[in-house]
Every structure is written in structure tokens, then in C-alpha cells.
Structure 1
Amino acid sequence: MAELDETHHGRLLAFLSAHSPARSTGPGSSDVSLWVGIHEADGRLVACGAISALPGSGAPLMVSVATDAALRGQGLGAAVTSWLTRYAVRRYGLCTLWQLAGNTPAGRLCTRLGYRDEDPCVAARIDAC
């Protein structure tokens, strides 16, 4: 696992656009404190994720975990998720995450790693009166 800085933002954006277009955030977001990635021996990025801050509380929030579509099912997402979880727990004492609705594989992964869906969050558009 490698920490990724601003020099990697272009590669991160291209990777996320190709493999996770519905991502929750992207490189350069002011609330992200850490990006990490897994690279192949040739330097190609194959998985990534970030730690952001939960709006309102500032609690660490795992975001934009993504895996190369051709390599899914090989444990890369689990490696990123596990690493970020351990990082956040060591540094902040907890780790939270949001999962996009309908992402069944991510749900299974999070459950397998010990996360529980105990506080469902529903988003809706509310028009001003």
C-alpha cells in the first residue's frame, strides 16, 4: 500500500473515472486527508481509496475505494478497505464509511470485514419553500 500525494492526482482521477465513475469524492477534495493505492510492478494503479471527514462531526470517513474492473474479486478492495480501516482506528479511534446503494459486492466486503449497517442513511432532494 502506498500513500499518494498531489503528484498522483491526475492518475487517481483517470483511474476513478474509468473504474468508479459514481465515486463519492475525487483527488483534490479539501476534506480528504489521505489517498492510498496499490500498484502493479509496472507502476499501474490497480486499487485506491481515501480517508475524508464525515460532514458535521469530522469523524474519519472512508471514501472512493475502487478496484480495476478487470481485477475485481482478487482481494484488492479488501486490502485497501482493511488498510484504511486500521489507519483510521489507530489515528482517530474509529472509522466510518458510506456505501452506495445497490453495491452488493461492497456490502458483502464490508460485512466480512466487520462493518455493520446499523445507521441507515437516506438521501432525498428537498425543494425550498
Structure 2
Amino acid sequence: MSAPDTRTLARTLGGSTGLTDRWASHPFVLVDLPEWDVRGVWQDEHACVLSVALEVGVPDGGAHHQRVGLWGMGSPEATADLLARLAQAGELGEHVVSTGLPRGTLTILGDRCAGEDLPAILREREELSVSTWDFFATREVPVAQAGEEHVEALTGPSAATDVRACLDVANPLAEMSPEDPLTRWWGWRDHDGALRGVVGARQAAPGAPWSLGSIATDPAWRGHGIAAATTAVVTRAGLTESDWVTLGMYADNDAARRVYTRLGYAVVQEFESRR
């Protein structure tokens, strides 16, 4: 069965936000935009920055200020140029509390724009929480991996509990939650039926790319190809419902990078996030 064409979704998203086709069809946008409350869009041929509402801030003189996060795509140089123009024009506002921008953007921005023109989150500050990560996507159906016969969809009333028990051992800090109703889960079971690895998949809207997460293997079972087998099975399933399957990975996870690259994934945006 062929997957739905994401061009229809991209046109809908672009029409509702003012995004051009260039950015509305980007896999990162297709994954998250259906759930974003977009407050501003700035774009050119080489970069795009979106302001996304996060939560209502504390009252200030009787007014409630909407806190926002900035997400950017494109080249670091073009994104820095775009942000510098916005900052100098006073368009970014004072209530930016988090960012996810092309890696290297903020170093370049510091040479483009005076610090006093920038929201605090865009200035160099040691106390900020900073993470570097890569956003991968694929349209390729992966080849069969050893051990796929151990992979099964996890369904039924005990599925969330089983996934949570596996994550507590394999990756207690996993971000994708089995309690999220928009997620589906697959697991790898040993010959005794014990769950030794899991993969979650989230789809924000029909036709949107699947976003894989909480790809985790019991530490005692690493090296058995569990992540490759489960990720391959879930990737194939996702490509029956959308043109793309995506996932995010911390940039220093070389072992995971080798697995995902072997399965046909490629980095479509390098990010640095701050909060």
C-alpha cells in the first residue's frame, strides 16, 4: 500500500501559517506544525524561523504575556542573518524562553547583532541548558534486519505498563511517553517472552510523518541488533502512512547514528536547543 502524499498536508499547513512550499514541506515542519500554535513566521529562500506559543506567563501590570519558543531551519548563516534583521527591527519580542536553531546559528549571530538587541535566550550565557541534536528523516524502506521475527506491535490494556517497565530499565529519561494517546509502540521479545527493547512512534495528524522516539534496549541485551530490528519494522510501518519517517538523536550518539544511517536515515537538520 502506498503512503498518502504529504504535499496535501504541506499545502494545508502552508496556507494556515503563511509558510512557503519550501518550508511547509520540510519534514521537521510536517512532524510538529499540526500541534504548534504559531505566532510568527519569518522566511526567505535559505532560512525559516517560527515563533511558537508555549504557555501564558505571569501577569505583568495586569497583562498576560505569551511565552514563545523559536524554531529555525536552513543554514546557520542564513538563519543568523534573518534573526539579526528581526532583532534589530524589534520583531522578536522579549518573551522568547527557548530556541531550537540550526547548529552554529548563535555563534554567527553574535557577530551580526549587538547583544542588547537580542532576547536573553539568544545571548551567550553559561547558565543556559544547551543540547545539540540531529533531526533524521527517511523515505527509504529499510532492508530486513536480523532478529525482526522477535519484533511485535504492543497493543492491549497492558501495553503502556509493559513499555514503561522496559523503559525504566533501558532508558529512564526517554522523552516519548507510552501514556501519550498519539503514540504506538513496538517491542523486541526474547525467547522467554521478556521485553528487551522498544520503539515508539507518534503521528500528530493523519498524513503527517511518523516521529520515532524512546528507541531503547535493555543494557544487558545491547549488541544483539535489537534497535536495528525494531526501528526497521516501525520505519516500514510508518512509510505506509506517510512519505517520511523521522527521528531525533543527540549528536554525540555515534552508535545510534551508525544504526540509523544503515537503515537509510539521513540528517536533514542539525540543531542546537536552548532553554
Does TM-score exceed 0.5, indicating one fold? yes
The one-letter code sitting in structure 2 at the alignment partner of 1:31 is: L
DSSP 3-state at the match of 1:121:
strand
Match of 1:116 in 2: 266
Is 2:162 the counterpart of 1:11?
yes
Determine which structure has more spread, i.e. the larger CA radius of gyration: 2
- Greater RCO structure (CA 8 Å; 6+ sep): 2
RMSD in angstroms over aligned alpha carbons?
1.9
- Measure, in 2, the Cα distance between the counterparts of 1:80 and 1:54: 21
1:16-31 correspondence to structure 2 within 5 Å: 16-31=167-182
2:196 is aligned to: 46
Partner Cα separation in structure 2 for residue 114 and residue 84 of structure 1: 13
- TM-score of the pair, normalised by structure 1: 0.85
**What stretches of structure 2 of length at least 5 have no aligned partner?**
1-150
Kindly tell me the number of residue pairs found equivalent between the two proteins. 123
Identify the structure with the greater strand proportion: 2
In structure 1, distance between residues paired with 2:211 and 2:270: 15
Identical-pair percentage: 28
Is the CA contact 2:209–2:243 (under 8 Å) kept in the aligned structure 1?
A: no
Shift of 1:115: 0.9
Distance (whole Å) between structure 2 residues aligned to residue 109 and residue 54 of structure 1: 25
| Residue-by-residue CA offset, 1:34-92 (whole Å, 9 max, x unaligned) | 1011111211001110111369x942101111111111111110001111111111221
Which residue does the alignment assign to 1:78? 228
- The question of 1:106 aligning with 2:256 is answered yes
Q: Which amino acid aligns with 2:179?
A: G
Offset of 1:102 from its aligned partner? 2.4
Distance 1:22 1:104, change over 3 A: farther
Distance of 1:124 and 1:59 partners within structure 2: 25
Q: TM-score, normalized by length of structure 2? A: 0.42
Q: Structure 1, unaligned stretches of length 5 or more? A: none
Structure 1 letter corresponding to 2:168: S
Q: Counterparts of 1:52 and 1:74 in 2: how far apart (Å)? A: 25
